[in-house]
Structure 1
Amino acid sequence: MSKNKINRVALVVLDSVGIGYADDADEYGDLGANTLGHIGDAVGLNLPNMARLGLGNLAPIGGVPRNLNPEGAFGIAKEVSKGKDTTTGHWEIAGEILEEAFPTYLDGFPEEIINEFSKRTGRGVIGNKVASGTAIIDELGDEHVATGNLIVYTSADSVFQIAAHEEIVPLDELYRYCEIAREMLQVGRVIARPFIGADGAYSRTANRHDYALEPGDNMLSRLKAAGQDVCAVGKISDIFAGKGITQSIRTKNNMEGVDATLKFLGEGNKGLIFTNLVDFDMHFGHRRDVWGYKRCLEEFDVRLPEILDALRDDDLLIITADHGNDPIFKGTDHTREHIPILLAGKHVDPVRIGFRQSFKDIADTIEELLMGVESEGSFAKTAIR
């Protein structure tokens, strides 16, 4: 394989679009979860463009038929890292496997942590429990507006989330509080969750900001060190604490994420364009909105041809996910699932790349194609002609 066949990879993560429960799902209480399968069974999915690439060949998905002549390569990957959150999934995609899960706080954060956080911010804290982000601002929004106390909550994931009204706590101030929490805690992410509204009618804004732990050496840092461009779209820069990123565009929704990806594809960069499309997870998975999730998937599929048409001859497109969030399943948390992998581009051989033993195989493949670093996990020789 000529190492110059592929000079740029667009890696698009459909946040939470899992394709069936993992082998160890029982350890996470997720036995039976299947994000794509259950949505297809419940309401049907019209995804002709992802079907062209072979999505329907991976598993039974209602409305997504098998394709006897797929235009892309396709496969499924399992997660090795401990955990089922966004940070863990993305880090493994980038080549870093976590041997220990980030800490979680299913009974709320210990009193000493809350007291220290309150002391450092100068504000009281309310909530401090596992909760849905929309439900807790409905429950505690009025009290927050009246007192200025910060709404702190968590989930089954390793997160410390701070919700505050933008007119009560200005964004810069909220972000500073998140930086304080980031210094204090070893959770996977600290997340700013600003909202607006009045008199019990509150809604979250698009000014969310994530503060992740800094990852170790990974695909992004190695590509940057080798002189490659690493262009981040959406919350990718947040997930990796900016490490290894050369350019970044923040987005407020999936369609802005597609627009930003197209912008980078239209420029003369080389290396990696790394995109996260978060609406599937944030707006529909956690809220168990199966119809909204369906529409969100179909909206992306409608725009997929724009991405395909924007690819240069030396580009590779990889579409994947980071975990599941089955809107039919119990609870409101992520689900431990396998992820789909779809590949497209001029040099892609339309083959099955099989069942990959780690999300890390994606990083191994990208590093082989862009830097000539071969590894056993790479599927470059299988999928690229």
Structure 2
Amino acid sequence: MSRTVIVVIDGFGVGAMPDAGALRPGDVTADTCGHVLDHARTFGARPLRLPMLGALGLGLVHPHPDLARRTHLPVAAGRAALGYPGADTFAGHQTMMGADFSHVTVARLAAHLDEVTEALRTAGHRVERLDGRPLLVVDGAVLVHDNLEADPGINWNATGRLEDLAFDRILAIARTVRAVAPVARVIAVGGHADGPLPRYVRDGDGGTVGLDTPATGVYRNGGLEVQHLGAPLDHTRQLPALAARAGIPVTLVGKAADILAGETAVRRPAVPTADVFAHTLEAVRAPGDDALVVANVQETDLAGHQQDPGRYGAVLEQTDAGLAALVSLLDRPGDRLVVTGDHGNDPTIGHAYHTREYVPVLIHRPEATGVELLPDAHSLADVGATAAASLALDPTALANGTRIGRTDEVA
């Protein structure tokens, strides 16, 4: 009997990876966890209170003085490198579930204009560049462009106005682009803009050129349709599929419900942190001996994008309370609570992009007798492999990942 719950605190990093400054040199100082704690101590009414994260071993991973160095819980604690290029929620979750993202690159559309143009024309579309700039106008209505809301080169978009054509036509163009794109995601976007889309084209960071999507008004005008087309993956070799084949019920909560595959999974999309934990606790309380629950706490990531360390800290405290409720329920031998992140999002860094940081790997094991300090994992895929082992599944059935430490055994 085993219930394994993976809680991903979106955008929760514990310090810059060695290559964090490759795109933005200032990111070498990124430390989401430390800087949020510093902000609360310096500018807040009091230091943050994170007793459960401390009990789960966060202070063993991060040296901040406001984090406890000892824990009374049986835990295994370490940190993981991301194991995929850039710092992206979609790639992070897919990798964590056991995907191999070694074939995915960070690339500007400008470097692949010829092959994208050829693919679209072969599919019967009319394609031209906009004023000679490195983005494409397809059928006179859809812009294919760099995504300016993520790190440069992470994602491309295909955006059209629903006044001009139906979303299924925008999606068909995006699928053709996806077939030749080397990046993690191609995002089809259809909405009601305030004016012609070329009016909102601008230069982005890192030599990108794209649509200032928030400025178009599509996020506020209603009727927005979006579909994320991820890089080709063998979802049958990811953790949810592996668990489902073994007859283990799978529940995906929060953003995990939107971006992870699993034909038989119960999906509970939610953004408010209270709702995320309510759905997660409900799944743990459900009858049955075995379960896999993957939940994403998104509001931390939103606070990072907003560069709001005060809000980030408040969400962390709310998350801490939710984790305490989970620990009280996961009390059977074989149960596991895994707390981790998918990338960093330092709300003090001075820009609204993700930061390339190590993430914590905190594992509660109710039947263990001590604390295990884990070696650095090379990839988030190792988190998925470790969770597979805790469910008595074969980690080698995943496309990627190696079990960390002895976390499926009694210490």
Into which bin does the TM-score normalised by the smaller protein fall? 0.7 to 0.9
- Pairwise CA RMSD: 3.7
Contact 1:190 1:210 in 2 (8 A): yes
Query: SS of the residue aligned with 2:320?
Result: helix
Whether 1:85 and 2:118 are equivalent positions in the alignment is no
Residue pairs, 1:193-272, within 5 angstroms: 210-216=228-234, 217-240=237-260, 242-243=261-262, 246-269=265-288, 270-272=290-292
- Relative to structure 1, the CA distance from residue 380 to residue 157 in structure 2 (aligned partners, 3 Å threshold; closer, same or farther) is same
Runs of 5+ consecutive residues of structure 2 not aligned to the other structure: 42-47, 128-135, 195-214
Residue 11 of structure 1: CA displacement? 0.7
Q: In structure 2, what is the equivalent of residue 55 of structure 1?
A: 58
Matching residue's letter, 2:381: K
Equivalent residue letter for 1:246: A
1:212–1:238 Cα contact (<8 Å) kept: no
Are residue 181 (structure 1) and residue 195 (structure 2) matched?
no
Contact 1:287 1:327 in 2 (8 A): yes
* Equivalent position of 2:402 in the other structure: 377
- Residue in 2 that maps onto 1:41: 38
Question: Greater shift after overlay, 373-382 or 109-118?
Answer: 109-118
Q: 1:365, 1:377 within 8 Å by CA — same for their partners in 2?
A: yes
CA pair 327-195 structure 1, distance change in 2 beyond 3 A: farther
Secondary structure (helix, strand or coil) at the match of 2:66 reads coil
Alignment correspondent of 1:137: none
2:22 paired with 1:27:
yes
For 1:312 and 1:192, locate their aligned partners in 2 and report how far apart those are by CA, in whole Å.
Answer: 43
Partner of residue 211, structure 2 = none
Does the CA contact (< 8 Å) of 1:86 and 1:322 recur in 2? yes
Q: 2: distance between equivalents of 1:81 and 1:63?
A: 31
Task: Check whether the contact 2:255–2:271 (CA below 8 A) recurs between aligned residues.
Answer: no
Residue type of the partner of 1:212?
G
Does structure 1 conserve the Cα–Cα contact (< 8 Å) formed by 2:242 and 2:393? no
Residue correspondences, number: 352
How far 1:323 sits from its partner (Å)? 0.8
**After superposition, what is the alpha-carbon deviation per residue over 1:182-211, rounded to whole angstroms, capped at 9, x for unaligned?**
44223423447789999x997668987644
Corresponding residue for residue 376 of structure 2:
355
Which secondary structure does the structure 2 equivalent of 1:276 belong to? strand
Unaligned runs of 5+ in 1: 133-153
Describe the shift of the 1:317–1:164 C-alpha distance in structure 2 as closer, same or farther (beyond 3 A): farther
Query: 2 CA distance for matches of 1:237 and 1:14?
Result: 14
Kindly indicate whether the alpha-carbon contact (under 8 Å) linking 1:84 and 1:157 is maintained by their aligned counterparts in 2.
no
TM-score where L is the length of structure 1 = 0.76
Which range moved further: 104-113 or 31-40?
104-113
1:293 maps to 312
Structure 1 residues 277 and 188, CA, compared in 2 at 3 Å: closer, same or farther? same
**Identity within the alignment, %:** 25
Partner of 2:45: none
